Amino acid sequence: MKNLFDLTGRLALITGSSQGIGYALAEGLAQHGAEVVINGRTPESVKRAVESLKAQGLSAHAAIFDVTSKDAAKQGIDAIEADIGPLDILINNAGMQFRTPLEDFPADKWELLLTTNISSVFYVGQAAAKAMIARGQGKIINIASVQSELARPGIAPYTATKGAVRNLTRGMCADWAKHGLQINAIAPGYFKTPLNQALVDNPEFSSWLEKRTPAGRWGNVEELVGAAVFLSGRGSSFINGHTLYVDGGITTCL
C-alpha cells in the first residue's frame, strides 16, 4: 500500500511541458520517481526545462515534436520508445487559448484551437496507446478544464475543445480499458499560468474569480501535481474514464 504513489521506474511523457502546468506536472512526477520526457516545439525552451529538472537531480529527456501533426506525433512517440524506453504514462497537456467575442471569432483561430486542444490529444494518445496496448498496461491523462463543464463569454471555441477532451477521455476508456489502460482527465480551474496571465493581471477579473470560487483564490500550478501523481500511479488502478476537477470548488456553484 505504501507504494501507491511511487512512480519509480516509470517513464512519462508530458506534452507542452517546457513551462506552466506542463512543467509543474513533469517536475512533480519526477519528484515522485518518474523518468520524464519534456515535449515542445521550441528546442531552446525544451532544453531549458530539461536542464532545470536535471539541476534538481531529476531524470529528464527532451522530445521536440509538433503534437498537432499526426505524422510528427507518431514519429515522436516511436523515437521515445526506441531511444529512451517504453512509455508508461502520457499526459496530454499541450493547449492554447484565444479570447474574443464569438461573433467576431476568426475562422483560422477556430481551426488552430481544434488542432491544438483536441486533435493533438487524439494523435499522441493513439500513437502512445498502440504501444501500451501491446504491453497490456499504461496510463493516459488528458488535461481538460472547468470549461469542459462551464462556459464564459469570449471563449466559446475553447469551451468546445475542452468539452471534447472530456468526452474523448470517456471514449478512450471505452475502447482501451479492456487492454489494461487507465485513461482519465484532470480539469483545472483558474490557475496562475502564462496562458492566463492577462486575466491574473486584470483586477476586475481576479475580483470576480475570487468571489465566484468557494476557495476564494487562484490556483497555483503545484496544486495539480497530487492529482497527476495519483492518476499516474497504482492508486488509480480501477479509475477509468473519469474527469477530476481541481478547481477550488468553482464547478459546485453553477
Residue among 195, 252, 183 nearest 24 (CA)? 195
Q: Residue 140, SS3? A: strand
Are 38 and 15 in contact by the 8 Å Cβ rule? The answer is no
What is the secondary structure of 20-64 as a DSSP string?
HHHHHHHHHHHHTT-EEEEEES-HHHHHHHHHHHHHTT--EEEEE
Cell numbers given for 245: 476537477
Catalytic residue among 23, 123, 158, 190: 158
**Whether residue 158 lies in the annotated active site:** yes
H/E element, 205: helix 203-212
How many Å apart are CA 51 and CA 38, to the nearest integer?
10
Hey, which residues are catalytic here?
158
